[in-house]
Amino acid sequence: MNRIGLERKVLNENDRLAAGLRSRFAASNVLCVNLISSPGAGKTSLLERTLESFDRDARVAVLTGDIQTENDANRLRCYGFPVRQITTRGTCHLDARMVERGLEDWRLTDLDLLLIENVGNLVCPSSYDLGEAAKVVLLSVTEGEDKPLKYPSIFFKSELMVLNKIDLLPYVPFDIAAAEENARRVNPNAEIIRVSCTQKNGIAEWLAWLAARRDRMLSGRTSAV
């Protein structure tokens, strides 16, 4: 079997597993969000600000992916919610089977929100459906404003772009208007939220987006019934 054929077979199997996960999430009314970015763009920091904003009885859990170490999971566990590290040991993305295994002894009926922190990469994660309701891409102002044009697939597939580390704008040569324009050139329908995890700017808007996205999921399900 040639490489293209093998890749197609792998993706077809992943899509089959992702469809099963999506059905399970839907049956349990769980909003699953897949966070994707370059390394260091601030996914874990955003998750920290997110978890600390919830009451301790909130029905939320996190799966976090990395090539090595449990560092991110250790940072997030202190907030009191279920957190599990998925260590890929070299693979540059999460796939549906990894997520399925990560959920093995969790009861989805105990959750309203599942946040998946993908491996730091803007290329491979865009090809792998995890059964999520939405992809969210993070872009930090320490990166180039042309990232949406260089990596269009993930920006096209994401419902939301979180523009992170805006507190650093006075210190870096980043054109925020150009970054947002480039993102909308790739995906005119994408929403954009400007965030500083250190100063907590934009966190309320991010939480409101999550709440609205779950409400939309639930209302769509009710309409379908």
At 142, the amino acid letter reads T
43-53 and 203-224 are packed helices; what angle lies between their axes, rounded to 10 degrees? 80
Tally of structural domains, the chain: 1
The parent domain of residue 186 ranges over 3-224
The SS3 call for residue 128 is coil
* Domain CATH code at residue 98: 3.40.50.300
- Tell me the C-alpha distance between 67 and 90, whole Å: 5
- Tell me the C-alpha distance between 75 and 117, whole Å: 13
pLDDT string in tens for the chain (225-residue length): 565 565 666 689 999 999 999 999 999 999 999 999 999 999 999 999 999 999 999 999 999 999 999 999 999 999 999 999 999 988 899 999 999 999 999 999 999 999 999 999 999 999 999 999 999 999 999 999 999 999 999 999 999 999 999 999 999 999 999 999 999 999 999 999 999 999 999 999 999 999 999 999 998 765 554
Predicted pLDDT at 217: 93
Predicted pLDDT at 9: 66
The encoded tokens of residue 125 equal 């994660």
Predicted pLDDT at 225: 47
Task: Write the burial class of residue 89 (CB in 10 Å: 0-12 exposed, 13-18 middle, 19+ buried).
Answer: exposed
Q: Is the pTM of this model over 0.85?
A: yes
